[in-house]
Amino acid sequence: MKKVLVTGGAGFIGSNFIHYLLCGQKALELVVNLDALTYAGNLENLKEAEHDSRYRFVKGDIRDKELVGRLFATYDFDTVVNFAAESHVDRSIVEPEIFLTTNVIGTQTLLDAAKRQWKINPEDKYSREFRSGVRYLQVSTDEVYGALGKSGMFTETTPLSPNSPYSASKAGADFVVRAYHETYGMPVNITRCSNNYGPYQFPEKLIPLMIYNCLQNKMLPVYGDGMQIRDWLYVEDHCSAICTVLEKGKLGEVYNIGGNNEKANIEIVKLLLKTLNKGEELIAYVKDRPGHDRRYAIDNSKITSELGWAPAYSFEEGITKTIQWYLENQEWMERITSGVYQNYYASMYGGDKGGS
């Protein structure tokens, strides 16, 4: 892993991943961040990286064949980590189309460019001698498996059964990645992680939204009965798991990522209220999300036993660090919620070509 293309690197997990790479990967020569700077992309997340000579930012769309091809030809990446996506379930219910074009067609555009640049030979599929030293990693999600009842966990062989336009688009992308491996012998991995939390998460998602509303003394909108269960992982542990797969993962394999931290939404909301010294009268039970998945839980035994990965943070440590970060970075939150940063980007990067 020397020359890495990270897509969606200005978003929540992508920006944490770029920091993680720049701090921890000694062999790293270059990381190019290709990001369209949608509402969810925020270059402020990468202020420290800007001073690192190994880092470049390119504003652009993963669906832009010409741009993606040019980046491969210019930088000759050996590794691609695709985070770029429309990622919010609620938005996908209102506006599904962009989820399908970005998440499915964008993935296929990246795969095609990598296939061309890496001169992938379909015969590799039969010899199983995949071109060494190059790898495409698709950052997928546990949501592709659908919903669980009271018991059981998602394993890598659980059939895909997505319930929202978002998860359907992520499942579609996974199938395209799989097909490129099976048909052309593309050296790929797919990771499927549970819910992340940590610094730089856009405040439309449960934990940062609830922290923000607590600090503003606004109501905390809990969908339905609040008893839906999510399996939480601190974002840095997701980053370390991706690096583990890039280093040791068997090509063509899927790896689930999770830290065995199942919590009901209402439990999280009450914990945040208590930590921030606010009363439960701020809780507002609101109409449920349509098609709301009741429970997710990841069986992480494949990545832990075969690749030796383990999360470094307990939920208690992770959530304490996260709350602290949002308390110390209230201006970051203010700029996002006020739209100041969007206006700034429009003036800086308003044209088609973007900066680097």
When binding is defined by CB under 6 A, the residue of 205, 234, 245, 256 that contacts ligand DAU is 205
**The dihedral sign for the CA sequence 148, 318, 339, 63:** negative
Total residues binding ligand DAU (CB under 6 A): 19
**Per-residue exposure over 9-34, b if at least 16 CB sit within 10 Å of its own CB, e if not:** bbbbbbbbbbbbbbeebeebebbbbb
Q: 269 near 210, Cβ under 8 Å?
A: yes
Q: Residue 39 interacts with ligand DAU (CB under 6 A)?
A: no
Residue (35 or 299) nearer to ligand NAD, CB: 35
Q: Residue 256 interacts with ligand DAU (CB under 6 A)?
A: no
Q: Tell the smallest beta-carbon distance from residue 8 to ligand NAD (Å).
A: 3
Q: Would residue 142 show up in a list of annotated catalytic residues for this protein?
A: yes
The entry of ligand DAU, ligand NAD, none that residue 209 binds, CB within 5 to 8 Å by partner kind = ligand DAU
Per annotation, catalytic residue among 142, 231, 262, 299: 142
Q: Residue 13 interacts with ligand NAD (CB under 6 A)?
A: yes
The entry of ligand NAD, ligand DAU, none that residue 252 binds, CB within 5 to 8 Å by partner kind = none
Q: What are phi and psi of 323, to 5 degrees?
A: -60, -45
Distances (CA, A) of 128 to 77, 104, 131, 250, 355: 22, 26, 9, 12, 40
Distances (CA, A) of 109 to 104, 132, 284: 9, 22, 43
CA distance 217 to 220: 9
Residue (211 or 282) nearer to ligand NAD, CB: 211
Per annotation, catalytic residue among 61, 143, 174, 237: 143
Entry field: residues in the chain: 356
Stretch in the footprint of ligand DAU (CB under 6 A) among 2-10, 84-92, 110-118, 345-353 = 84-92
Q: Residue 265 interacts with ligand DAU (CB under 6 A)?
A: yes
Considering only residues 276-335, where is the footprint of ligand DAU by CB under 6 A? Answer: 289, 296
CA distance 136 to 177: 9
Residue (130 or 202) nearer to ligand NAD, CB: 202
Q: Would residue 345 show up in a list of annotated catalytic residues for this protein?
A: no
Q: How far apart are the first and last CA of the chain?
A: 21
The entry of ligand DAU, ligand NAD, none that residue 165 binds, CB within 5 to 8 Å by partner kind = none
Residue (69 or 221) nearer to ligand DAU, CB: 221
Q: Would residue 20 show up in a list of annotated catalytic residues for this protein?
A: no
Q: Residue 21 interacts with ligand DAU (CB under 6 A)?
A: no
Residue (39 or 275) nearer to ligand NAD, CB: 39
CA atoms within 13 A on the CB side of 285: 6
Residue (117 or 164) nearer to ligand DAU, CB: 164
Total residues binding ligand NAD (CB under 6 A): 30
Query: Which stretches within the chain are classed as H helix?
Result: 12-24, 65-75, 89-94, 96-100, 106-117, 124-127, 165-184, 206-215, 235-248, 265-275, 301-307, 315-328, 330-338, 340-349
Binding site for ligand DAU (CB under 6 A): 87-89, 141-143, 194-195, 205-206, 209, 221-223, 228, 230, 265, 289, 296
